[in-house]
Amino acid sequence: MPYNPKLTADAENAPSLCEAFAGRFRVGAAINSWHLNENSREYAVIRKQFSVFTLENESKPEPIHPEEGRYVFDRVDRFSEFGEKTGVRLRGHTLVWHSQCPDWFFHDENGNFVEKEVLLRRMKEHITTIVSRYRGKIGTWDVVNEVIRDEGGMRESKWYKIAGTDYIKEAFRCAHEADPAARLIINDYNLESSEAKADTMAAFVREMLEEGVPVHGIGLQMHLGLDTDFEKLKKNVRKFTALRDIAPDFCLEVTELDVSCYRWGDDAEDIEQTPEFEALFAAKYADLFRFLLELSDEGVLDTVVFWGIHDGASWLNGFPRRHKNYPLLIGREFVLKPAFHEVVGLIK
Ligand code: GLA
């Protein structure tokens, strides 16, 4: 099909990401419950393009369990009903995290840290309640998110200060007990760029597997940039595929993919989407997808989720500072970018 810069993601004759990669891996997106209005443009796009979904924020600890004993399920229920109705796969994100997590978990009425037993009891109640409610409906859970430091070693979060690494192992056991069929993931960022972080992840997951902790896979967030070093990325990812020597079904998922066009801490002017920029961006995505296809051929990867539906809805327009970003394959106004066609074109 000749390149048509106006072809949109919901057009009848538009190619579909999830159809193109069917049989290799599912392709998905982070959405918000307000995208589930069946008359909206977003809904048409997500139904056509994606077959696996994560809620961007609404199932995180803070929104779902703001106070001890008080849960807010309505938005996640809506998400789960969408999954049941359409048969798409749903990812739950995330049960335990240091961020977007209410402080009541960690403190007593005087504001002091609670004992380890109290924290673990609260965590268990939290996980059991949520995972049981969506048992059989949410197929995959990011059980813990970002528990490792960028420079290697465990993140010294409140969870860790009170309970060491036991909270992580316990979180997986509780989730497994609440839904034995769910796939349980340890999710993190910069695993492709920080060797020290990747080493800690590989060693810690190996320790869990050896102890029989039910961890089924690693979630590679993959918030990448145009400057991402792919040789390093591949080398680090291989540290994780090596875990299959002790757990043959161990898997990887790409959980939050985007490619920012700004460097971290970059104060440069907003970038224009010139043809040169588009070509560079498309080449990056194509390199990445070639590697993802290799992993899928090895049977280690079956899920690739973008962090957002289209460029205009990406968190990267506001983080780490406000600027216009273009990190996804679907652009503003749902236009299919050259990178979209390049990626779909990898499948012949
Ligand atoms: C992290 C989290 C996500 C989200 C993004 C930014 O990667 O895992 O839930 O908050 O940051 O949107």
Length of the chain: 348
Q: Which of 228, 209, 72, 62 is nearest to 145 (CA)?
A: 62
Residue entry with tokens 């080493």: 199
Mutational test site, ligand 1, from 187, 307, 317, 319, max ligand atoms within 8 Å of CB: 307
Sort strands 301-306 and 140-145 into parallel, antiparallel or unpaired.
Answer: unpaired
Q: Which of 215, 92, 113, 202 is nearest to 157 (CA)?
A: 113
199 CA from centroid of ligand 1 (Å): 22
Mutational test site, ligand 1, from 256, 305, 314, 325, max ligand atoms within 8 Å of CB: 256
Q: Which of 7, 11, 18, 98 is nearest to 347 (CA)?
A: 18
The confidence score (pLDDT) of residue 266 equals 67
CATH code matching the domain that covers 26-263+304-309, chosen among 3.90.550.10, 3.40.50.2000, 3.20.20.70, 3.20.20.80? 3.20.20.80
Residue 222 near residue 255 (C-beta atoms within 8 A):
yes
Cα gap 213→78, rounded to integer Å: 31
Q: Amino acid identity, residue 42?
A: E
155 CA from centroid of ligand 1 (Å): 16
The confidence score (pLDDT) of residue 272 equals 84
307 CA from centroid of ligand 1 (Å): 8
Taking the chain (348 residues) in runs of 10, the rounded mean pLDDT of each run is: 82 97 98 97 98 98 97 98 98 98 97 97 98 98 98 98 98 98 98 97 98 98 95 98 98 98 75 90 97 98 98 93 92 97 94
Q: Kindly report the average pLDDT of the chain as a whole number.
A: 96
Count other Cβ atoms within 10 Å, centred on residue 194: 20
The confidence score (pLDDT) of residue 1 equals 57
31 CA from centroid of ligand 1 (Å): 12
Query: Would you kindly state where each structural domain of the chain is located, as residue ranges?
Result: 26-263+304-309
Pocket lining: 59 vs ligand 1, CB cutoff 6 Å: no
Q: Which residues contact 77 (CB under 8 A, 6 or more apart)?
A: none
**Residues carrying an active site annotation:** 146, 256
Structure tokens at 103: 């402080």
Pocket lining: 256 vs ligand 1, CB cutoff 6 Å: yes
Pocket lining: 190 vs ligand 1, CB cutoff 6 Å: no
Please give the number of the atom of ligand 1 that sits closest to the Cα of 142.
8
